[in-house]
Chains A and B, each alone.
Chain A
Amino acid sequence: MKMKRVLIFLLVFSCLGFVSRQSFNFSIPKGWPKPVYNFNRNPLNEDAVFLGRALFYDPILSKNNTISCASCHSQYNAFTHADHALSHGIYDSIGNRNSPTLMNLAWHRSFMWDGAINHLDMQALAPITHPKEMGERLDSLLLKLNRSKLYKSMVAKAYGDSIVKSEYVLKSISQFLLTLVSANSKYDSVMRSEAAFTAQEGKGYKLFQRHCNSCHSEPLFTNLAFENNGLCMDENLRDFGRYLITQNPTDSFKFKVPTLRNIEFSFPYMHDGRFKTISAVLHHYASPKCKTSSLSYLLKEPIKLSKEERVDLTAFLLCLTDKGFLFNENYSYPRKMFLNRANGY
């Protein structure tokens, strides 16, 4: 009888050995909707998450090994570009847009300000191959990665394959990005009844619910839709937003509604980073300058707030800062790994 149990155990264990690695526990914060990302096609495991993290921080992704994803998506800025209105990439090229924040991406249906990318797995291809971002070719990148002992061993560990393939690269970057969940701000603690807003923050929350929540909907603080918020087009950039993808005139000047989570650290704001402060953003919504026909119907009436109300609303917005996210060591530069490589591993 005992032998039978041992046999069954061995049989099950040997089967599992081929398919199951150390799985990564992705938990959905309480009260949040179901993620959009199909985890069945790319089940998270610790090794692939780590591989994705290494790739995210490695300038090997760019043509001349100078630009990494983190160059424009730094953790302490909620994974956007510190202090740059327009992101800059390889050979000091200046791009057309402000790099978006990276968090809670498992809930997103599309990516980029205009929704050009339809799946998280395919997102990394765009900056890798863009001549103003990383300027690399996918085949050259795979050649480089296949020459690296380190990446070959990481791919072997994560996927059991001796060759680095684009599918592994793309899915691993997704895996790392999927782990970037920000759901532990003061706001979240209040929602879980573990903390309370101050009177000012509470007033700000009420104002937020009345004026902002339709587009920056809780709990993601974005409805993930494309909206025209009445910004005037920059004559140099001539960015028509979502229209560039759908070629539908009603989509002109629409951009994906960004999350407000960690807004304290994700400045500058808007698709072209034109506003440096929250106060400048609130000033814009008090009197949107360009009311074209595609303007969001929710902004037909400007959001007029008194000086006191603006301070209250700002106090609430600062409750969306998630220090546990901004300083989470699991998201940061994998120093030890890169140090090992520098030492010839």
Chain B
Amino acid sequence: MTSKIIKYILQIVLLFIAVKQDCNAQSLMLKMKMGEHSLSLDSSYEVNQTDSIQITTVKFYLSDMAFWNNDSLLYAEKNSYHLIDLANPKSFYLHFDLPSGFTYNQIKFKLGIDSITSVSGSFGGDLDPINGMYWAWQSGYINSKIEGFYFKQGVKKEFQFHLGGYQYPFNSIQELTFKVDSQSSVFIAFDLLNFFPYLDLLKRSHLMQPSLDAVLLSRYLKNCFTVK
């Protein structure tokens, strides 16, 4: 009888051991930039000799992080939703527990939240609507928020871009793929300066609903990313 009990306990303990695998901690770090400068809140950045930009909000979702070796998927993070917030430097560090003993040479991720998640109801954590990245009046995540002020020859103008939309023809999620050489320290660089050359901030300074323009601006925002 006693031996049977011990056997049961052993089986349960073994089950727990079997589940725990060897893992290899991998970190990715976001470097937030504005051209040559590091991007920080409320600093002013010169765009040209007369104009400058001040940033008050930069928030965006990176999702579906996946590590590849050429054409084969090595690791896809589960429940992979990361809200990057310029006001919260902790959010620049992404940690993954990769299975040990493989080498990847590509990382893929998405800028924004996919359509299935968008129609699946309430979530917590980074997807909690309390983060201010959800449209209450028309369901859907705000994939990215860029806000600030534009100074054109001394005239101050506020801009607010809330980019989102998951339904055709306004699906604004962007897929990104990058080749990676070294695995020791991988940086995802986000250079916001690449967002502005296409925009005429005096003509259009607000965008807050799914639209073709939001899709276009999301593509511009995609151009801000590089991986080193």
Partner-B contacts on A (CB < 8 A): 3-4, 7, 38, 41-42, 116-122, 125-126, 128-130, 138-139, 142, 165-167, 170-171, 174, 245-247
Contacts and interface: CB of A to CB of B under 8 A. Distances in A.
B163 to A, nearest CB: 16
Q: Across chains A and B, which 9 residue pairs bring their CB atoms closest together, nearest first?
A: A121-B121, A121-B122, A118-B139, A125-B136, A170-B122, A167-B124, A119-B121, A116-B138, A129-B136
Contacts of A122: 121-122, 129, 134, 136, 139
Given A7-B8, A125-B129, A166 B137 contact: no
Nearest to A142: B130
B166 to A, nearest CB: 9
Interface of B is mostly: loop
Interface in B26-80: none
Interface of B: 1, 4-5, 8, 118-124, 128-130, 134, 136-140, 167, 170, 211
A120 B170 CA distance: 22
Contacts of B167: 246
B180 to A, nearest CB: 35
Of B122, B124, B128, B137, the most chain A CB neighbours within 10 A belong to B122
Contacts of A166: 122, 124, 128-130
Nearest to A128: B136
A247 B121 CA distance: 23
Contacts of B122: 42, 119, 121-122, 166-167, 170-171, 174
B109 to A, nearest CB: 24
Contact of A117 (B1, B130, B139, B211): B139
7 contacts: A3-B5, A7-B5, A42-B121, A118-B140, A121-B122, A165-B128, A247-B170
Contacts of A38: 120-121
A3 B8 CA distance: 13
A116 B139 contact: yes
B130 A120 contact: no
Contact of A116 (B4, B123, B137, B170): B137
Nearest to A122: B139
Given A116-B137, A121-B122, 6 more contacts: A4-B4, A4-B5, A121-B121, A129-B137, A130-B137, A167-B124
